[in-house]
Each structure stands twice: as structure tokens, then as C-alpha cells.
Amino acid sequence: MKRHLLSTADLSRDDAELILATAAELRELADRPIKKLPALRGRTVVNLFFEDSTRTRISFEAAAKRLSADVINFAAKGSSLSKGESLKDTALTLEAMGADAVVVRHGASGAPHRLAHSGWVRSNVVNAGDGTHEHPTQALLDAFTMVRHLGGSGAKPSLDGRRVVIVGDVLHSRVARSNALLLNTLGAEVTLVAPPTLLPVGVESWPVETSYDLDAVIPKADAVMMLRVQRERMSGGFFPTAREYSRRYGLDGRRMATLQDHTIVMHPGPMVRGMEITADVADSDRSVIVEQVTNGVAVRMAVLYLLLGGSEPAVGGEE
Amino acid sequence: MTTYWIKNVSILGGQPTNLVLNEGRIGHIGDLRGVSSDDGVEEIDGTGLIALPGLVDLHTHLREPGREDAETVESGTRAAAMGGFTAVHAMANTEPVADTAGVVEQVWRLGREAGYCDVYPVGAVTVGLAGQQLAELGAMADSAARVRVFSDDGKCVSDAVLMRRALEYVKAFDGVVAQHAQEPRLTEGAQMNEGELSGRLGLAGWPAVAEEAIIARDVLLAEHVGSRLHVCHVSTAGSVELIRWAKGKGVQVTAEACPHHLLLTDDLAATYDPIYKVNPPLRSTADAEALRAGLADGTIDIVATDHAPHPLEDKDCEWAAAAFGMLGLETALSIVQQTMVDTGLLDWAGVAERMSYAPARIGRVSDVQGRPIVAGEPANVVLYDPRATRVVDPAESQSLSRNTPYRGMELPGRVVATFLRGKATVLDGKIQ
């Protein structure tokens, strides 16, 4: 594995399988009375969040703490975009504090890449979501969740031949980018569904199929992932009204009825109930949305553990 | 004043000869027997060197007044001299904006005081570059700075009526509107060339159509009102095609390409290093090739640098937060050599046309700049060694800024000397 996790494109199939297999071991920990391992004792993980994100930050914090790392939460309100302290100065501060890993969420695409490659810090950098670029740990937890439900009985985590449909604002979605790349690496067949205005230019070169017609593709899907649609996209003229969007691209009870029995429904959160997903779908038996959150902690534990040089088995070496 | 005897030099790549610069003029060309010499003669061995007319840049940002931390008229013109330029047109997007006779006269005067090259201020088309109301174009034209080029560069004159009026109005003093062709609504928040890579990197796209739509409109407007139009920093294959079409119809349109668009491409954005962030953005290889072909066949009239200095903090940050622009004056001739001469697309006479004669004509300064190298003409001359190579070191730049995208690259050629009206501004490759 590379030193940093900036994009799921950086992960080979072996890397991805290792992370998912490690996460599976660590996932068992959640069911134990004592949920803590000493693996990263004495190491410092900094959560550097330039954008509000409650769930991702808490997930990383829980992951680091369960591995006994020291955690510093750094909510940097106002990046250099808003004339606050610059990314560089913040990075130098963290470096001076002796951070071993920096988990960074930033509104600018490529900010974690800059952090990792500009020589400002020596720490391992984990991208926790950058602009409209990528969100690799979200894709890993999505893949992990899919493997648990759809992965078959093979020894290795695999999604070979599984059909995943990702629906919504692909253009602005870092989750969609990371998932498209990772799921392809793991052998899944990915179809992106969106109105043409919300598919990026050049999507035809991505390792995915695309469709404008949700009803045509979901009956064959093994997993359907709904993406959040921000209401401000409406003022950008990407679609006429929220109602029309819901009608054409929302997942409601009628559409859910066309799914195969085993098909799962996913959402990276936060959901806009009534917009891209109706409440009855979100709360249905098919929905694994809450489980995604649980799995997120295990996946992030695996990432931190593997990046920070865990060569010993993560589980089993309790002192 | 020193008299220079430049021996065995190749004028525009021709047979080696001797060139005498005397009293600010080209005194003599050819055999030196019988040419009187006194104690003030300095001889320069021109063996292997090419003599070109002093280069003229139609598109330079000198940043003064307002951003003297990035560049001053003095530092920018020193960089220009090092690049072989004897004249630069200073863009209007200063603070305050060069939209009044007072500001353009200040820039003009600062250029005279610095003395490294002639500085021709460009006047803003609209007050404050705001695109609302015409600036006092006539007052700038009548000022001591004698402004003939007007541009809101950095911003597009996107309002069609305002553009039409500007094109018409400047006819009264033989001016030209130099358009920064960028449809603003199509490029809101734009960060890089829109294409497969922008989608993958999650950087907002700057589509070629946003440039081409404005150029298409403007050439039709220029034809309709019978005015001169100049298109700044053409960056796409489609734009070249439109300009070729317009010229074929007889529209009075001229166009420039920048060295960075001839050499660099958008794949550099994958580094997320904003040293490669520029407006218009670096485009595809096919676009760069179309620009080279257009420059070779004359569709693109000139090379202009769009030299855009920025202090370190405006580039040492995340891509979206960084400023657009890159240095260009000191590397322009080398890049033109690499992309146009060494590839066989242009000879040195063609370089002289595109980097000296034509920009001087467009800027209406060809009475004193962009003159041929013949006896009696002003001694604005560059001596260039095309066989030298150098590795670009930003620390060596005369600019106050360091934002060159060519850091560490090996480029061909070296400016050995620059003469402005017979006075050496650069000698032995060193600023004087």
C-alpha cells in the first residue's frame, strides 16, 4: 500500500482486499465487551476538518481511539479560501505537534494531495473527503457493506460480477468517484444513473456504465446506492424542480418493489428524505444505511492501522 | 553612447555578417572596412548568435500600481529585457485599474524612469473592469501614454452591446479592443480545462465553448461595425478554426497565443500544484497542436506572454484557492524556439514577425518598435544563442515573483544581449 490514502485509484485489488479483510477482523471487535486494541498506542492521529462533517469525523475519532491512538480534533473554520489560516500553516502546526497521521476533510479538491506531496508534513495523509473529488474511506465502507451482504463464500472479499447502481448527483459527488473506481477494482459492474446535467464531462472514460433511466436498470441491481442531492443544485439549473427530480430519480416504494429480493439499498448520508429517497425505503429491511455507519468505524480502523505500519496482526495480539 | 560592433552575427538566421549599433540606431550592416571607429567601440563576438528585432509583448501584467509585492514596472521590465523584449504592453488590471488618463500616464512614466524597455499601458475598456460603463477611452488615447490597446483582460467584456460600442468608439483614434474571451456564466468557479481529467480530479471545468462562443460573437460584431478586434490568449483548436474562418471573410481580427499554451497541457493539473493554474487553462495536446499550426500559418498573428506574477502565498496553497497566472517574459523566446523553430514550423524571420513586427503593428507602435534590422532603424535588437540550453531556476528570475511552471525544465536558447535604442539592457546574458 502507498503511504497515503488520497484516492481509491491508488488501491490495487490486493490493497483493497487487505483493507476489507482487516476491517472484517476488526468488525468483530464491535461485538466484544471491550472494544479497544493497543495497536496504535503512542501514535497521534489528527482529524483536520476544514468542512463540517459530524459523522465522518466521529467515525474516524472512534476508529483511532479503539486502536488506542491519541486523537486531536482540529476543526479549522475557514480555510485559506476564506482568508483564514492557510492550509500550509495549519499543516506546519500539525507537523510541529508530531502528528503521525492526518485525516483531512477539505472543501477544495486536491487539498489532501497538496498536503501529502508539498513537503509540508511527513505524516501519513488520509483523505476524508475533498471537494468534489474523492472520499475513499466512504467507498471502502460501502464496498465492505456490499461484501458482507453480497460477497459470496470465497476466501477473499470480492464483488465479482455484482451489479451496483449509483444514483444521483454524480457530478458533485466525491462518494460516486471513489466508489466507481474501487468497486470496479473489486470486480463489480457499476452503473451511474443521473440526469445528463449531473454526469461529469468525460464520464464515458470511467470504468462504468451510465444511464438516464432509473427504472430500466434497478431490476438487475444487487445494490442500489442513492446519493444526496443538495437543494442548492436546483438554483444551478441542473434540474427543474425537486418534485421532478424525485419522480425521475428518487427511490420510492414503487421502485423498491421492482428490486430483486436480495438487493440492498444504501446511502452515504446525510439523507434528504423525500428527495432522493422516501422514508419508507430508508427504513425498510433492504436498507443497510445504519449498518454502513457501523462498518465505517471498522474500515477506518483498518486504514489507520495499515497506513501507520501495522505489520503484526491487528487482532489477537492483546497485551 | 557606446558604439557596438557585433561581428559575425546571423540576422534572422541568415548568413553571418557584422552589425554596427551607433547613436541609438543601426549604423551599418556588412563589411567593417572603412567604418570609422573611435575609442568608444565595444566589440561583441556574434558567432553562433542570431540577431532578432527587439521583441514586443502585447500582453504583460506589471502589477504596478497596487501589487508591488508581486511585480513593479521596474522588475517586470527587467524580466522583459532578459527575455529579449524592448517593449511591453502593460495590462490594465492594476489597483487602481488603468481606466483613467492619470493611471496610464503613471505606468507610462514609471516605464520611462526604469528604462529597461518601452512600456505601453493598455487602457481598461470599462470603468473598474466592471463591464458596466465605458472608461474614458479617448482621454487615455490622448494622454502622454497614447493608449491604443484597450482591454478588460482578466475579465471578459461579455455584454454584447458594450462590446459593440467599445469596438466602434475606438475607431476614432485607431484603437483596438483586446478581448479576454471567456463567457462568464459558462465558467463560474472554473478551475481547469473541462474534459475527462477535470471530471476525474473534481475540479470545475472551463469548457472550450466558453472561449469560442465569445470569439464567434466578437468577430461577427467586428465585421458588423467594421472595427479592429484582437483576441487575447487563444487556447483552443475551435478558436483557431473560428479565427481562420473570420480572417477568410476579411474580418479585421488579430489573435495571440501564449507560450504556455503552446508547450504545456492540462494533464499537469493532476499534480494539483497551482503553479499550473492559469486563465484560460492549459488545454489538451490537440489544442496545443492546433495553436502551433495556427501560429505557423498566420491565423494566430503573434505570441504574447500573459506574464502574470503572483507572490508565493498565492500559489503555495490548495488549487482552488490559488491565483491564476504564470510568469512568461524570460522564457517566451526559448519556448517559441522549442515548439515552433526546432519543430520546423517557423524560421527566425517568422519568429521576428510574430514576436516583434506584428505585435508592434497591432499595438500601433510600429513607428519605433518592431522595425526591421536595416541601417538607419532604431537599434532595438536581441542577440540570441539558439544552441545554448539552460535549466530554469526561478531564483534567477528578474521578476519579483517565482511562479514559473518551467522550474527545473531544460529549455533551448539563451538571450545574450538586448539593446533598447542602442543601449544594452542585457549584455553577456546579464541585466545591465
Query: Does residue A113 share a domain with residue A43?
Result: yes
Does residue B16 share a domain with residue B155? no
Whether residues A45 and A117 share a domain: the answer is yes
Q: B-chain residues within 8 Å CB-CB of A81?
A: 318, 320-321
Inter-chain contact B202–A81, Cβ cutoff 8 Å? no
Q: Is residue B36 part of a domain?
A: yes
Do B59 and B122 reside in the same domain of the chain?
yes
Catalytic residue among B306, B316, B347, B385: B306
Q: Do B77 and B163 reside in the same domain of the chain?
A: yes
Q: Residues of B with CB below 8 A from A109's CB?
A: 191, 201-203, 272, 319-320
User: What distance in Å separates residue A182's CA from the closest CA in chain B?
Assistant: 14
Range(s) of the domain holding residue A298? 8-133+293-307
Domain with B142 in it: what CATH number?
A: 3.20.20.140
Specify if A221 maps to a domain: yes
Q: Do A265 and A299 sit in the same domain of this protein?
A: no
First to last CA, chain B: 14
Residue B316 among the catalytic residues: no
Mark whether A53 and A188 lie in a shared domain: no
- Residue A3 within a domain: no
Q: How many Å lie between the alpha carbon of B201 and the closest alpha carbon of chain A?
A: 5
Structural domain range at position B114: 54-362
Sequence-ordered alpha helix ranges (H) in B126-203? 137-142, 160-169, 196-201
User: Domain check: are A174 and A111 in the same one?
Assistant: no
Where chain A has pLDDT below 50, the residues are 79-81, 317-319
Q: Do A104 and A190 lie in a common domain?
A: no
Say whether both A246 and A192 belong to one domain. yes
Q: Which of B252, B259, B257 is nearest to B361 (CA)?
A: B252
Nearest to B272 among A113, A174, A201 (CB): A113
Residues 47-66 of B with CB under 8 A from A: none
Are residues B121 and B263 part of one domain? yes
Shared-domain flag, residues B220 and B117? yes
Q: Do B40 and B75 sit in the same domain of this protein?
A: no
**pLDDT at residue A312, as a whole number:** 55
The conformation of residue B219, written as its DSSP 8-state character, comes to H
CATH number, domain containing residue B10: 2.30.40.10
Same domain, B307 and B418: no
Residue B370 covered by a domain: no
Asked if residue B390 and residue B352 are part of one domain, the reply reads no
Q: What is the pLDDT of residue A31?
A: 80
**Using CB atoms and an 8 Å cut-off, which of residues 70-129 of chain B contact chain A?**
none
Same domain? B23 vs B75: no
The reported pLDDT for the residue numbered B299 is 98
Domain match, B228 and B111 both: yes
- Of B164, B158, B180, B299, which is closest to residue B226 (Cα–Cα)? B164
Residue A159: what are its φ and ψ, rounded to 5°? -120, 30
Instruction: Look at residue B256 in the predicted model and tell me its pLDDT.
Output: 98
B369 located within any domain: no
B201 closest CB neighbour out of A107, A110, A118: A110
Beta strands in B245-334 (DSSP E): 253-257, 302-303
- Integer Cα distance of A149 and A156 in angstroms: 14
Q: What distance in Å separates the CA atoms of residue B171 and residue B173, rounded to the nearest whole number? A: 5
Query: What was the pLDDT predicted at A285?
Result: 95
pLDDT of chain B, 432 residues: tens digit per residue: 899 999 999 999 999 999 999 999 999 999 888 777 666 799 999 999 999 999 999 999 999 999 999 999 999 999 999 999 999 999 999 999 999 999 999 999 999 999 999 999 999 999 999 999 999 999 999 999 999 999 999 999 999 999 999 999 999 999 999 999 999 999 999 999 999 999 999 999 999 999 999 999 999 999 999 999 999 999 999 999 999 999 999 999 999 999 999 999 999 999 999 999 999 999 999 999 999 999 999 999 999 999 999 999 999 999 999 999 999 999 999 999 999 999 999 999 999 999 999 999 999 999 999 999 999 999 999 999 999 999 999 999 999 999 999 999 999 999 999 999 999 999 999 999
Tell me what pLDDT residue A316 has.
54
Specify the number of domains making up chain B.
2
- Please report whether residue B295 resides in a domain: yes
Say yes or no: B391 and B286 in one domain: no
When divided into structural domains, chain A yields a total of 2
Which residue of chain A is at minimal alpha-carbon distance from B186?
A236
DSSP string, B1-57: --EEEEEEEEETT-SEEEEEEETTEEEEES--TT----TTEEEEE-TT-EEEEPEEE
**3-class secondary structure for A20-60?**
HHHHHHHHHHCCCCCCCCCCCCCCEEEEEECCCCHHHHHHH
Distance of CA B6 to the CA centre of its chain: 27
Residues of A in contact with B320 (CB under 8 A): 81, 107-110, 131
Decide if B367 is inside a domain.
no
> Do A114 and A157 lie in a common domain?
no
- Whether A186 is covered by a domain: the verdict is yes
CATH value at residue A215: 3.40.50.1370
Are B303 and B257 spatial neighbours (Cβ–Cβ below 8 Å)?
A: yes
CB B140 within 8 A of CB B104: yes
B289 occurs within a structural domain: yes
Neighboring chain B residues of A202 at a CB cutoff of 8 Å: 195-200
Do B321 and A201 lie within an 8 Å CB cutoff? no
- pLDDT tens string A188-233: 999 999 999 999 999 999 999 999 999 999 999 999 999 998 777 7
Q: What is the pLDDT of residues B108-154, one digit of tens each?
A: 999 999 999 999 999 999 999 999 999 999 999 999 999 999 999 99
User: What is residue A77's three-state secondary structure?
Assistant: coil
Residue of chain B minimizing CA distance to A134: B202
ipTM of this predicted complex? 0.91
